[in-house]
Amino acid sequence: RKEVEQDPGPFNVPEGATVAFNCTYSNSASQSFFWYRQDCRKEPKLLMSVYSSGNEDGRFTAQLNRASQYISLLIRDSKLSDSATYLCVVTANQAGTALIFGKGTTLSVSS
Amino acid sequence: NAGVTQTPKFRVLKTGQSMTLLCAQDMNHEYMYWYRQDPGMGLRLIHYSVGEGTTAKGEVPDGYNVSRLKKQNFLLGLESAAPSQTSVYFCASSKQGLTYEQYFGPGTRLTVT
């Protein structure tokens, strides 16, 4: 079962770097898309929702390509505090009755 | 405002023992969920509830039961624990359906020996 696929990483980058994460999903009926952040041994927390038109929140930019069933997250000017695992999440079906979580991509930002 | 809380935080069980995990939320959310997270796998939905008195199966419901007698509480039960149920269990809640942000509890680390 590979409904949401992410490059597991780890991505090791210096402070100030720009890093991009990719995610693909298999269910064309998925309607809602999210990026969650999970710190080591902590609970996931919503980073941002992903909209068809793309959206930006400070240093974070999310893009959605429905035709390719592809989602991306771009982090600019990386900070030490960005070190975490980033989870790509999509609704499992058109009714939105379940979420499918990717395994996550781990980012480590070093000084 | 505590958000979502889970008890206990850690537990070790022997095979065949039973236990109940408690999830409580103080945000008046309608929807509540139980997930498990295993190494190398994404979070998987065990059961969920769309309101007080209602529950439904998720992706991996076998070996678990749930109850939602009060809106703020969602209980996850293991009737006869198995080593395959060793995992980190997260409870979450959301205002309405899955298009809304899910708020997660801190997790329960369960080991079954």
Q: Bridge-partner residues for B77, per DSSP?
A: B20, B65
In the predicted model, is pLDDT for residue A22 greater than 80?
Answer: yes
| Beta pairing class for A19-25 and A4-6 | antiparallel
- Can you give the pLDDT at residue A94? 57
- Can you give the pLDDT at residue A98? 76
Higher pLDDT, A42 or A8: A42
Q: What are the tens digits of pLDDT across the range A53-85?
A: 889 999 999 999 999 999 999 999 999 999 999
User: Number of CB pairs < 8 Å for A and B?
Assistant: 47
Of A4, A96, A101, the CB nearest to B97: A96
Taken as a whole, chain A contains a residue count of: 111
- Can you give the pLDDT at residue A74? 98
Mutate to test the interface with B, among A43, A57, A85 (most CBs of B within 10 A): A43
Q: Please work out, in degrees rounded to the nearest 5, the angle formed at the alpha carbon of residue A90 by the alpha carbons of B100 and B86.
A: 95
pLDDT band at A31 (very low <50, low <70, confident <90, very high): confident
Q: Please check whether residue A9 touches B, CB under 8 A.
A: no
Q: What are the tens digits of pLDDT across the range B5-45?
A: 999 999 999 999 999 999 999 999 999 999 999 988 889 99
First-last CA distance in chain A: 37
- Total Cβ atoms within 10 A of residue B6: 22
| Beta pairing class for A105-110 and A11-14 | parallel
Mean pLDDT to the nearest integer, A4-23? 95
How close, in Å, is residue A44 to chain B by CA atoms? 6
- Is the separation of the CB atoms in B44 and B92 below 8 Å? no
Query: Mean pLDDT of all residues in chain A?
Result: 92
- Can you give the pLDDT at residue A93? 65
- Can you give the pLDDT at residue A95? 57
- Can you give the pLDDT at residue A92? 77
Q: What are the tens digits of pLDDT across the range B81-105?
A: 999 999 999 999 998 876 788 999 9
- The single residue listed with the structure tokens 């509830």 is B49
Of B42, B59, B106, the CB nearest to A43: B106
H helical segments located in chain A: none
Q: Please work out, in degrees rounded to the nearest 5, the angle formed at the alpha carbon of residue B41 by the alpha carbons of A10 and B52.
A: 125
Kindly state the tokens that stand for B81. 């624990």
Chain B residues in contact with A101 (beta carbon < 8 A): 35, 42-44
- Can you give the pLDDT at residue A96? 56
- Is the separation of the CB atoms in B36 and B88 below 8 Å? yes
| Dist CA A43 CA B33 (whole Å) | 14
